[in-house]
C-alpha cells in the first residue's frame, strides 16, 4: 500500500510538472478563455480566444449580446488580454472570411456595444461583406467598408451602398471620432479617406461614366481633405484617346478639384513598369 | 484490496487525463480537428490515391491527388467530403479543396483546382467548373497556366492554347459551359502560344 501511495505521489508530481512544462501561462490562459468563449450563446466556433465566428443571420440585438458576452470574458484575461477582439461571419459561398468586426478598443463596454451594433446593423440590412476595423483612440479612427460584389446579382448601386453606410453611422450615437468609410461595388471603390469629408454626388455618379469605358477593369476614388487619389486598372496600355476620355469623365464630374492624382495601372505588365500617371504628381 | 484498486484507478485517471485544459495552444486545438475529418474521408467509397486533410484557425483544407479519377468519381468524392467538413467544428468556416493531377514539380500548379467555400444552392457552378477543368487537363492541345480557382460567384483560370486551334471558338465554348451553369462573366484568359 505504501508503495502504491508513493507511485500516486510521483504520478501527481509528474503530471503537474508536465503540465507546467508543456503549456506556457499565456497559452493556457488563451485555451481556457477560448473554451469559455465558445459557451457564449451565438458563438459558432472560437478558433482563438480573440476570434469568434457568429451566425450572420442572427438579429442585430443577438449579435451585439454575443459580442458583449465574448468581450466580458476576453477583457477579464488581465495581463493576458489580447490586443484585438475579432468577430467574423461567413455566408454560404464565401470563399474567404469577408465579414469581420475588429476592435482594439474593447476595454470600454459601452463603446464596444455601439461599434459592434453599427456593424451588425449593416448585416441586418442585407449586406454580406462588411468590414469594420475599430482602432484605438489616438492611433487612428478605424475604417468601415461595405462591398457588394456578386456579378449577376442586380444588387445595389454604389450610391445605395454608400448611403446605407452613412445612414447606419447617423443612427449611431454621436461620437467625436468617425471611421473612414468606403463602398465597393463591382470593382469600383469610393472612400472618404479622412473620415470627415462628404463625398459629392458627382463623384459617386462617376462610376457610371467610367463603367462605359470598356478598357477599364476597375477604379477607385479616395477623397482626402487635401488631395484625391484616383486609381484605375485596365487590360492594356492606354492610347492617348483613351487617356483623354478618362480625364474628360473625371472633369465632367468635378473630380479634378481641388487636387487630384490619377494613376493608371496596366495589369498585364510588371508592377514597377505598369504605372502611368495621367494627372497630378502621383508618387 | 478494494482500497488498492481505488487508489490505482485514481493514479491511472490522473495519468490519463493529464493536463487541463486538453490543448496546449489554440493552434494545437485547431489542427486537432483535421484528424477526425481525415478518418471519415478515408471511409468514402470514391477515394483518390492520396488525400491529406489540414486544419488551422481559418478552416479545413482537403488536398487530394486524383490520379485517373473520372468526372463522376471526382464529383462523388467532393460530394462525400463536403458534408464531412461541414460537420466538423471548423466546418462553418470556408472550406478549401485542392484537387490535383500532377503531384509535384513545375506542372503541379497548372494541374490544380482550388475550390474555395461552398454554397449548395449554386452547386451547378462549382461542378461545371470541375468538368471544364478535367476536360482541359484531358485535352493535349491546351494547358492551364496556373491554378484554376472556383468560387460561388467567380471562376478564374488562364488557359494556354498550344495547337493553333480557333481560339475564339474554343474560348466561346468554354465560357458558354460556365455561363450555362450560372457564372456571370467567367474570368478565363485564353492565350495562344505560337508554335515554333
- Per-residue pLDDT reduced to its tens digit, B125-184: 999 999 999 999 999 999 998 899 999 999 999 999 999 999 999 999 999 999 999 998
Interchain CB contact of B11 with A (< 8 Å):
yes
Exposed, middle or buried: residue A199 (CB in 10 Å: 0-12, 13-18, 19+)?
Answer: middle
Closest CA to B126 of A95, A127, A57, A187: A95
Distance from CA of B117 to the nearest CA of A (A): 4
The whole-angstrom separation of Cα A90 and Cα A53 is: 8
Q: From first to last of its 283 residues, what are the pLDDT tens digits of chain A?
A: 445 455 444 444 444 444 444 457 778 888 999 999 999 999 999 999 899 999 999 999 999 999 999 999 999 998 889 999 999 999 999 999 999 999 998 999 998 999 999 999 999 998 999 999 998 765 457 889 998 877 666 678 888 888 888 888 888 887 767 788 888 887 788 888 766 667 777 777 787 788 888 888 888 888 776 778 888 888 778 888 988 998 888 888 877 766 788 888 876 655 556 677 888 765 5
Interchain CB contact of B7 with A (< 8 Å):
yes
Residue identified by cell 468526372 is B71
Interchain CB contact of B13 with A (< 8 Å):
no
Closest CA to B27 of B77, B82, B75, B90: B90
Domain match, A78 and A206 both: no
A171 domain-assigned: yes
The whole-angstrom separation of Cα A218 and Cα A188 is: 6
Residue identified by cell 463591382 is A186
Q: Total domain count for chain A?
A: 2
Beta bridge partners of B191: B160
Domain match, A168 and A223 both: no
Contact A23 B19 (CB under 8 A): yes
Q: Where are the domains of chain B?
A: 26-100, 107-196
Using CB atoms, which residue from B23, B117, B151 is nearest to A31?
A: B23
* Domain's final residue, options A166, A185, A204: A185
Closest CA to B84 of B40, B128, B121, B53: B40
Which segment of A267-271, B29-33, B72-76, B152-156 scores lowest on mean pLDDT? Answer: A267-271
* Domain's final residue, options A185, A200, A235: A185
Contact A4 B8 (CB under 8 A): yes
Domain match, A51 and A170 both: yes
Interchain CB contact of B153 with A (< 8 Å):
yes
Residue identified by cell 488551422 is B56
C-alpha cell, B70: 473520372
Distance from CA of A197 to the nearest CA of B (A): 33
Q: Which fold has domain B26-100?
A: GMP Synthetase; Chain A, domain 3 (3.30.300)
Q: CATH number, domain at A196? A: 3.30.70
Domain match, A52 and A144 both: yes
Residue B86 carries which DSSP code? H
Domain, as residue range, for A56: 34-185
Residue identified by cell 470627415 is A196
* Cα distances (angstroms) measured from residue B67 to each of A20, B45, B51, B100: 47, 16, 11, 8
Domain match, A81 and A177 both: yes
Contact B117 A35 (CB under 8 A): no
The whole-angstrom separation of Cα A93 and Cα A172 is: 30
Exposed, middle or buried: residue B169 (CB in 10 Å: 0-12, 13-18, 19+)?
Answer: exposed
pLDDT score recorded for residue A235: 76
Using CB atoms, which residue from A11, A92, A97 is nearest to B93?
A: A97
Closest CA to A126 of A151, A88, A155: A155
C-alpha cell, A35: 473554451
pLDDT score recorded for residue B176: 97
Judging contacts by C-beta atoms under 8 Å, the chain B residues touching residue A149 are 153
The whole-angstrom separation of Cα B142 and Cα B190 is: 10
Which H or E run contains B85?
helix B71-87
pLDDT score recorded for residue A187: 75
Judging contacts by C-beta atoms under 8 Å, the chain B residues touching residue A22 are 19, 24
Judging contacts by C-beta atoms under 8 Å, the chain B residues touching residue A44 are 92
Judging contacts by C-beta atoms under 8 Å, the chain A residues touching residue B152 are 92-95
Residue identified by cell 512544462 is A21
A26 domain-assigned: no
How far is C-alpha B29 from the chain's CA centre? Answer: 22
Contact B118 A93 (CB under 8 A): yes
Domain match, A98 and A212 both: no
Torsion sign across C-alpha atoms A208, A214, A217, A223: negative
A15 domain-assigned: no
Amino acid at each position: 500500500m505504501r508503495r502504491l501511495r508513493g507511485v500516486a505521489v510521483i504520478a501527481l508530481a509528474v503530471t503537474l510538472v508536465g503540465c507546467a512544462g508543456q503549456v506556457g501561462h499565456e497559452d493556457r490562459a488563451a485555451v481556457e478563455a477560448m473554451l469559455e468563449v465558445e459557451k457564449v450563446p451565438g458563438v459558432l466556433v472560437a478558433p482563438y480566444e480573440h476570434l469568434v465566428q457568429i451566425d450572420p443571420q442572427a438579429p442585430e440585438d443577438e449579435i451585439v449580446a454575443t459580442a458583449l458576452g465574448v468581450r466580458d470574458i476576453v477583457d477579464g484575461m488581465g495581463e493576458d488580454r489580447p490586443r484585438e477582439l475579432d468577430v467574423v461571419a461567413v455566408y454560404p459561398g464565401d470563399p474567404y472570411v469577408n465579414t469581420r468586426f475588429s476592435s482594439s478598443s474593447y476595454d470600454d463596454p459601452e463603446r464596444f456595444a455601439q461599434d459592434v451594433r453599427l456593424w451588425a446593423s449593416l448585416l441586418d440590412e442585407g449586406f454580406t461583406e462588411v468590414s469594420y476595423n475599430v482602432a484605438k483612440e489616438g492611433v487612428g479612427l478605424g475604417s468601415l467598408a461595405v462591398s457588394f460584389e456578386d456579378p449577376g446579382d442586380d444588387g445595389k448601386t454604389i450610391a445605395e451602398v454608400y448611403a446605407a453606410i452613412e445612414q447606419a453611422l447617423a443612427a449611431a450615437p454621436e461620437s467625436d471620432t468617425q471611421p473612414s468609410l468606403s463602398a465597393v461595388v463591382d470593382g469600383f471603390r469610393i472612400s472618404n479617406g479622412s473620415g470627415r469629408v462628404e463625398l459629392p454626388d458627382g463623384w459617386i455618379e462617376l462610376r457610371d461614366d467610367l463603367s462605359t469605358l470598356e478598357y477599364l477593369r476597375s477604379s477607385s476614388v479616395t477623397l482626402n481633405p487635401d488631395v484625391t487619389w484616383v486609381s484605375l486598372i485596365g487590360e492594356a496600355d492606354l492610347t492617348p484617346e483613351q487617356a483623354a476620355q478618362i480625364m474628360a469623365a473625371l472633369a465632367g464630374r468635378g473630380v479634378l478639384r481641388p487636387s487630384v492624382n490619377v494613376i493608371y495601372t496596366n495589369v498585364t505588365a510588371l508592377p514597377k513598369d505598369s504605372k502611368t500617371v495621367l494627372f497630378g504628381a502621383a508618387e | 484490496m478494494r482500497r488498492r484498486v481505488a487508489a490505482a484507478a485514481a493514479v491511472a485517471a490522473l495519468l490519463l487525463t493529464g493536463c487541463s485544459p486538453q490543448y496546449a495552444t489554440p493552434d494545437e486545438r485547431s489542427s486537432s480537428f483535421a484528424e477526425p475529418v481525415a478518418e471519415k474521408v478515408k471511409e468514402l467509397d470514391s477515394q483518390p490515391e492520396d488525400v491529406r486533410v489540414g486544419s488551422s484557425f481559418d478552416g479545413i483544407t482537403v488536398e487530394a491527388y486524383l490520379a485517373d479519377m473520372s468526372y463522376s468519381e471526382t464529383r462523388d468524392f467532393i460530394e462525400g467530403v463536403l458534408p464531412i467538413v461541414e460537420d466538423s467544428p471548423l466546418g462553418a468556416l470556408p472550406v478549401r479543396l485542392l484537387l490535383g493531377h500532377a503531384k509535384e514539380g513545375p506542372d503541379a500548379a497548372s494541374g490544380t483546382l482550388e475550390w474555395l467555400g461552398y454554397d449548395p444552392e449554386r452547386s451547378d457552378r462549382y461542378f461545371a467548373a470541375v468538368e471544364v477543368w478535367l476536360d482541359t487537363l484531358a485535352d493535349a492541345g491546351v494547358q492551364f497556366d496556373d491554378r484554376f480557382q472556383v468560387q460561388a460567384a467567380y471562376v478564374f483560370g488562364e488557359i494556354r492554347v498550344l495547337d493553333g486551334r480557333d481560339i475564339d471558338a474554343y474560348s466561346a465554348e468554354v465560357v458558354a459551359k460556365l455561363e450555362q451553369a450560372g457564372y456571370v462573366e467567367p474570368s478565363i484568359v485564353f492565350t495562344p502560344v505560337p508554335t515554333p
